[in-house]
Structure 1
């Protein structure tokens, strides 16, 4: 729907404007991480989870009813930006609270497996959105109707589902880790100040996130535009290929998570780092020249075999670095900084390279990001064997 908010004749420029707006939503994620991390560490994981999804509901609803450029002029992208800011604040707090909650309620022997469901639900949400889009494309609306107003329907559905999620989260039990630490947490100083006592762990979160977040947003958010603008697939083919690859990725997460409970977290991270560094350029080059949707799907599933080494366990790895009183903030803030700087801008960077006729340069940019994280993986200890969760 970029053309409804950004006038012009060049679809690449329109998509670039939309991507920049999307990236701006990431800028406020660190602020959301600070706010909701503080709530999670002082008032409870359940409270933070409930408030964050309620804010997401409101942001999605604003997008669903946002006026277009034709009816509101420059106000239209401004409303869209405000909604993205609300969503950014919500997502900034959601990650740390959910990663902390899952790691604290899981049995010690199965923390990798249960924590992997954070990305199962994240990818599952994207998959559901694509399936709704596919149904609208194929069975309900014409292309013109979808482009004019039908794109609002997924946001309405998302807002309604967020209401259901908020009601469900109100009934969650608080974690035993937090309940034991609650008296001290409520009297303690700001968890943001406490985070300053863990600079190494915070820097580690940024480093191990860098490559993984750029890869994740490349193969999710950017991939639909890539398949359409570069591979030249149709709208329906693009949706089918993306949905199929996301379903495959979703099924991989608990398998890799369970594997990390057996062999450790570090081998999976190193595997992602090595394979991503060596294979990203040839993989994306091959995808660029895919002759059929089936070939594109095979290349994407192979990409997810690599990237899932990071996505499946990144939540538990970060949670295992911090003590209870600062865990949610420690996971959320440095992660949000890394995502806002690198993950959220991945699509904009890729489209900018395409707009100047140097699309393949993005492949090397992604490779460099993964290689940087690989250095971190090689230097870090395995958090499964040195977990802060086991020292309390």
Structure 2
């Protein structure tokens, strides 16, 4: 027997969005910024944490093993799991419920990080607690995209889904800049000994406090699922994958080129310049910070443009632009400050054509009943496979003696996504099922 479709009754598609869209936007954006501050603070403080929790002087061979497992488990396992589980919570219990769960998970795991005992004080207990905290953070940040994407787009007034979508990467970038700024401030204000003793813990305590603020704001947000969806039977955990395999693969294709370009330009490019052309480390980090601020300012412009001209023109500009220009842009980097600044900011302009509308494009693929879980798992899995491995692939090509192959790798994946975008139906002007 043919399976019934997930589409709701006709009136569901035209149901009005929440009455206070500005409050909805604030709830999603502040919470998302806090999530990414907590997640990325670990990256900036990793050297201090490793010295206290995974000391080289530890006489137990399990210590470096646990260190490796922590990075692997969180980066390549827990984010897809979080996307599936928290997406299911959003589809079964509501978007607001999922958003409050993710931020509480992140706040709790940040507090756990701040209180993690050192190896000297507790032996293997310290590394184990740290691994658990990072697993919980991975679960949280993996679920945040699914829940926040759905919540943001469903909160948008008709004709403003692109604009509302853009605030996902505005808030993500703001969280990254705050994490970098707090770390820089701590390092500048206290000496190295104090940073090792308690300075790195202060950053995570701040994250835990900010999570409570985000939780309070999100609790006051309005649920975006329609009354019909709330009254309908709750979907199963794997229902989106089972009933919408084509849409799940479509999310993977939409994300593949975008995630490798995003992580290359927002995270790996300073290291790429240092490794391949001997660029000054301090200057590369400064350029990275400037370009991230520039990137955040571009997002609403891209979102508003897509509401006027559609999603496909921007997606094709991003993907074809990177497929054609990635190799010459990366090869144009030399030791001059302006070369890296122009390459990074130029790439950010192209990248904005995807990031500013990523939430809208993904949300418009799935029906409301399974929208969050349908987005969460394939998106997070693709990010883990292609985005999270970008630095490793760049380093691998360098170690193999073919550093020039990495730009071609990025360009090829963007070309794959360009072919997907060509077949993607335009959805900017269509009403969103709620």
- Interval of TM-score (by shorter of Structure 1 and Structure 2): 0.7 to 0.9
Instruction: Name 1:214's counterpart in structure 2.
Output: 260
What's the offset of the Cα at 1:290?
3.0
Instruction: Name 1:248's counterpart in structure 2.
Output: 294
Distance in 2 (CA, whole Å) between partners of 1:188 and 1:313 is 28
Instruction: Name 1:279's counterpart in structure 2.
Output: 325
Pick the aligned partner of 1:171 from 220, 236, 251.
220
Instruction: Name 1:182's counterpart in structure 2.
Output: 230
Q: So what's the TM-score if we normalise by structure 2?
A: 0.78
Residue 154 (structure 1) aligned with residue 198 (structure 2) = no
Instruction: Name 1:117's counterpart in structure 2.
Output: 167
Structure 1 residues 81 and 313, CA gap change in structure 2 (3 angstroms): same
Structure 1 residues 70 and 370, CA gap change in structure 2 (3 angstroms): farther
Instruction: Name 2:33's counterpart in structure 1.
Output: none
Worse overlay, 306-315 or 59-68: 59-68
Distance in 2 (CA, whole Å) between partners of 1:227 and 1:90 is 32
CA RMSD of superposed structures (Å): 2.7
Do 2:91 and 2:371's aligned partners in 1 also have CA atoms closer than 8 Å? Answer: yes
Residue 267 (structure 1) aligned with residue 313 (structure 2) = yes
**Alpha-carbon deviations, 1:305-340, whole Å to 9, x = none?**
111111111110010111111111111121112112
Gaps (5+ residues) in structure 1? 9-16
What's the offset of the Cα at 1:62?
3.2
Instruction: Name 2:84's counterpart in structure 1.
Output: 34
What's the offset of the Cα at 1:157?
2.3
SS, match of residue 220 in structure 1: helix
Distance in 1 (CA, whole Å) between partners of 2:55 and 2:78 is 22
Instruction: Name 1:11's counterpart in structure 2.
Output: none
Pick the aligned partner of 2:408 from 355, 364, 367.
364
Instruction: Name 1:291's counterpart in structure 2.
Output: 336
Instruction: Name 1:204's counterpart in structure 2.
Output: 250
Aligned positions, number: 376
**Alpha-carbon deviations, 1:165-221, whole Å to 9, x = none?**
11211111111x43342111xx23415224422121111111000111111112223
SS, match of residue 213 in structure 2: helix
> Structure 2 matches for 1:53-64, cutoff 5 A?
53-64=103-114
Do 1:19 and 1:348's aligned partners in 2 also have CA atoms closer than 8 Å? Answer: no
Structure 1 residues 163 and 117, CA gap change in structure 2 (3 angstroms): same
Instruction: Name 1:334's counterpart in structure 2.
Output: 378
Worse overlay, 119-128 or 233-242: 233-242
Distance in 2 (CA, whole Å) between partners of 1:290 and 1:212 is 27
Distance in 2 (CA, whole Å) between partners of 1:217 and 1:72 is 36
Distance in 2 (CA, whole Å) between partners of 1:50 and 1:314 is 22
Distance in 2 (CA, whole Å) between partners of 1:296 and 1:147 is 33
Do 2:85 and 2:237's aligned partners in 1 also have CA atoms closer than 8 Å? Answer: no
Distance in 1 (CA, whole Å) between partners of 2:279 and 2:197 is 21
Which is greater in Rg? 2
Distance in 2 (CA, whole Å) between partners of 1:152 and 1:364 is 41
**Alpha-carbon deviations, 1:115-157, whole Å to 9, x = none?**
11011100110011122233334x4134675577644443332
Distance in 1 (CA, whole Å) between partners of 2:266 and 2:121 is 31
Do 1:99 and 1:315's aligned partners in 2 also have CA atoms closer than 8 Å? Answer: yes
Q: So what's the TM-score if we normalise by structure 1?
A: 0.86
Distance in 2 (CA, whole Å) between partners of 1:280 and 1:145 is 43
Instruction: Name 1:239's counterpart in structure 2.
Output: 285
Distance in 2 (CA, whole Å) between partners of 1:229 and 1:141 is 30
Do 1:119 and 1:253's aligned partners in 2 also have CA atoms closer than 8 Å? Answer: yes
